[in-house]
Structure 1
Amino acid sequence: MEIEQRCPPGQIGTGKAFGTFGELLQGREASTQRDFLVTLPIERYARATFHPDPHALHVTVHPACKEKSRRLAQALLEYFSLPPGGVLTLQSELPAGKGLASSSADLVATARAVCSCFRVALPLPQLAAFMCQIEPSDGVMYPGIVAFYHREGRLRNFLGFLPPLTILGIDEGNEIDTLAFNTIPKPFTAADEHEYQALLTRLTLAIQQRDLHTIGQITTRSAILNQKLNPKRTLYDVLRISEEIGCPGVVVAHSGTCIGLLLARDGPDYHQQLALGRRHLALLTDDILTYHTLDFSQLRIKGVHRVARNDY
C-alpha cells in the first residue's frame, strides 16, 4: 500500500489521520519475543497542512510543540530530495499523553500533507520506519484493525473490521510520555507471553467472525494484565459497571490514562446500556468521554490496498 496524493492548486498539501482509543490488546508474543498492539480506530483526527517555502532552509511548525512532526517533515523532504523549507500546521482532536495515538496521528497526517504537496508516493512500511526513528508508533497509517509491532514500526498483519462501537470512557488524569513508557522494562513472565499469544489468536478469529462477546472478553483480559505495567485505579469499578449493564467489555489505553466501556451500537439494548453506562460513570468522573469507532465500510467495497491516502 502507498500514500498517493495529488497536489492542490498553489502547492499546499493536506493530510489527516485517525486516532485510536488505546488498544484492543497489547502485549508480547511468546514465539517471537516481540511487543505488539492491536489498534482500535476512532472518529477523531489529526490534520496537517504543509506550505512549501522556496526561500526557507528548514521547516517550521505550528504549534511549536509539534517538534516530532517537524522532524518527520524535514526527513521526508530530504528523502525525496525536495526543497528543505516550509510551514507545517497541525490541528488535532486527540489530546496528548492519553493513549489515543495523538503523536502517531500527527506524524501520519504530516507525511500525508508533505506527500500531497509534492505528489510523491511513500510506501506505508517506509513511513512506519521513518516514524519509528522518532518514537514507537501505533499502526494508524493502516486502515482497519491491525496487529502492529510498535517498537519496531512493522505491520504484523491486517485483522479486519469491527461492527460499530461506542466507547464510554474515563480519563484518569495526568499525561504519560509514550517514549519514556516504552523504555521501561516489561515484567512479562513466560506464562504472560503465552497468554498474550493465545489472546491474539483468539482475537484474530473473533474479529473475522464479528464476535463482540469474545472481543470484549479479550480486551477486558488485556486490561487486567496491563495492571502490572500501567495500573488504572478505576479498572475494577468500570469492570463492575460493564457486568451490570451487560456490555461486551472494557478497553484501556495500555500506555495512556483512559479506560472505557465497549458498547455495540447496533445491539438491541444499546440505548439502555448507553444511559446506564453514563449514569454509573458519572459517579466516577465529572467528564465522561464518548468516542465512536471508525466506519471502514467504504474499504470493504474499494479494497484495503486501494485506500491509503487521506480517506481516513
Structure 2
Amino acid sequence: MRDPAASGRTGRPVRPRSDVSSAGPGEPALGEQALSDPTVSGVCHGTLGELYQGPLRAGPDPEIAVVSFPVDRHSWVHFTPRADAGPAPLAPPLGEKAKRAARLFLDHYGLTLPPGDWHTHSELPVGVGMASSTADIVATLRCLFRVFRLPYDLQVVLGILAAIERADSVFLDEFALYLSGRHRVVRRLGTDIGFHTAFVTEPGTVDTAAVTPLLLDHYRRRGDEYQRCLTDLVKGFDSGDPAAVARAATASAALSQEVLPKATFGSLLAHRQRFGADGVFVAHTGCLAGYLYTARPRAHVKADLSAFFHSLGHQCTFAQGGYG
C-alpha cells in the first residue's frame, strides 16, 4: 500500500500481531491507556445512491464523478477493551474490508491493538447502492482514532480507502462532488440541501467493478448531456435551490437508465406529478429508486405512495436524505 498520508506517523516500528482483535505482549503507551477506557464507537452514515453519477467532464477519457446522497441510516463499529485475550463473546465480527482497514491503520501509525472485542451493527443492506462497505470502513477507522485518542485525519482515511475500494464520500458530513476512483474531493457542496424520500429496493445486487467499463462507454457517448446535468446540479447547490437539484438528479437518473436500468424507473417517472414529487433518484450502480420531496409528504400521500409501490411489487421505505 502507498503511504496513506504524508503526516501523522509516530515513528514507532510496527509490532507483530496475528489478528486485529488482539495483541501480543508489550502494548504501546497509547494502547495501554485505551485499555482502561470503556467501549468506544465509530459511526458513519450511508447513502441512497447518488444525486449524480457520471463523467466529471465530457471527453474520450472520462473520470467517474459522484454526488452521493447521504441518508439518515448508519453503520456502527464498537470496540470494548478487556484485561485478557481470552475467547471473545459472540458478536458480529468486522467484515473483511473493515479488517483490512484496521490493519492498514495500525501499520500506518505503528500501533498494536490491545485485547478487546469488536461489535458491529448496520442499517445498510449490502450491494444495493447504500455505500455499506465504505461506511463500515469509515466507522471502523473512526472507532480506531478514538481507541488511540488520535486526532481524526481525513488524509489517512482517504489513503486507506484508496488501498481498498472505489468509494462514496460518506467520510464527509456534507455533499461533495467526488472522484470515486481517485478518492479526491473536487468540490464541497455544503449542507443547505435536504430531501424527504420514498424509495424501494429492487431485487438483486450490482458489482460496481464489473459494470465500470459499460459506464465509461456510456459516459463517452453521452458526455455533453452529463455535462449539462452536472452544471445544473452544481448551480442548484450554489443557489440553495432543492427543486433545481431534484430536477438535475432526475436527469442523471434518466441517463443512468440507458445503461443500468431500474425496473421501476419508468413508472416512477410517469407518476411523479401525480404524487407531487420534486424529482426521481436512483442508486446508479445499485438497486434503489425513489422520489425526492423538498417538503415532508403528508400522511395521506404516504399512504398513496405505499399503495403505488405495493402495486409494483415492492415495500415503500421513507427516509430523510441530505441535510437542509
What is the deviation of 1:180?
3.6
TM-score by length of 2: 0.80
What is the deviation of 1:8?
9.4
* Greater C-alpha radius of gyration: 2
1:136 counterpart SS class: coil
* CA–CA separation in structure 1 for the residues paired with 2:167 and 2:288: 18
* Contact 1:39 1:138 (8 Å CA) reproduced: yes
1:133 counterpart SS class: helix
Alignment of 1:151-166 (within 5 A): 151-166=181-196
Tell me the residue number matched to 2:18: none
* CA–CA separation in structure 2 for the residues paired with 1:288 and 1:124: 35
Alignment of 1:128-277 (within 5 A): 128-182=158-212, 186-190=216-220, 192-265=222-295, 270-271=298-299, 273-277=301-305
Identical pairs, percent: 27
* CA–CA separation in structure 1 for the residues paired with 2:84 and 2:195: 48
In the TM superposition, what whole-angstrom CA distance separates every residue of 1:22-81 from its partner, at most 9, and x where no partner exists? 00000012268321100211110000112457977xxxx953571100100111011111
* Contact 1:98 1:257 (8 Å CA) reproduced: yes
In the TM superposition, what whole-angstrom CA distance separates every residue of 1:249-269 from its partner, at most 9, and x where no partner exists? 100001110101112235xx6
What is the deviation of 1:247?
1.2
* CA–CA separation in structure 1 for the residues paired with 2:255 and 2:314: 27
The question of 1:35 aligning with 2:59 is answered no
Unaligned runs of 5+ in 1: 297-312
* CA–CA separation in structure 1 for the residues paired with 2:203 and 2:149: 41
Tell me the residue number matched to 1:69: 98
* CA–CA separation in structure 1 for the residues paired with 2:239 and 2:148: 41
Give the 3 Å change call, closer, same or farther, for CA 279–163 of structure 1 in structure 2. Answer: farther
The residue identity in structure 1 corresponding to 2:53 is Q
What is the deviation of 1:223?
0.9
Give the 3 Å change call, closer, same or farther, for CA 76–62 of structure 1 in structure 2. Answer: farther
Give the 3 Å change call, closer, same or farther, for CA 25–137 of structure 1 in structure 2. Answer: same
The residue identity in structure 1 corresponding to 2:186 is R
Give the 3 Å change call, closer, same or farther, for CA 71–7 of structure 1 in structure 2. Answer: same
Give the 3 Å change call, closer, same or farther, for CA 203–152 of structure 1 in structure 2. Answer: same
Alignment of 1:118-133 (within 5 A): 118-133=148-163
Comparing 123-132 and 185-194, the one that deviates more: 185-194
In the TM superposition, what whole-angstrom CA distance separates every residue of 1:156-202 from its partner, at most 9, and x where no partner exists? 11112244422111111112233444465622354522322222222
* CA–CA separation in structure 1 for the residues paired with 2:192 and 2:283: 18
The residue identity in structure 1 corresponding to 2:77 is A
Tell me the residue number matched to 1:104: 134
Tell me the residue number matched to 1:44: 73
The residue identity in structure 1 corresponding to 2:79 is F
Tell me the residue number matched to 2:319: 291
Tell me the residue number matched to 1:89: 119
2:273 counterpart SS class: helix
Tell me the residue number matched to 1:26: 53
How well do the aligned residues superpose, as a CA RMSD in angstroms? 3.0
Give the 3 Å change call, closer, same or farther, for CA 66–224 of structure 1 in structure 2. Answer: same
* Contact 1:17 1:108 (8 Å CA) reproduced: yes
What is the deviation of 1:222?
0.8
Comparing 241-250 and 254-263, the one that deviates more: 241-250
* CA–CA separation in structure 1 for the residues paired with 2:136 and 2:213: 21
The residue identity in structure 2 corresponding to 1:46 is S
Comparing 153-162 and 37-46, the one that deviates more: 153-162
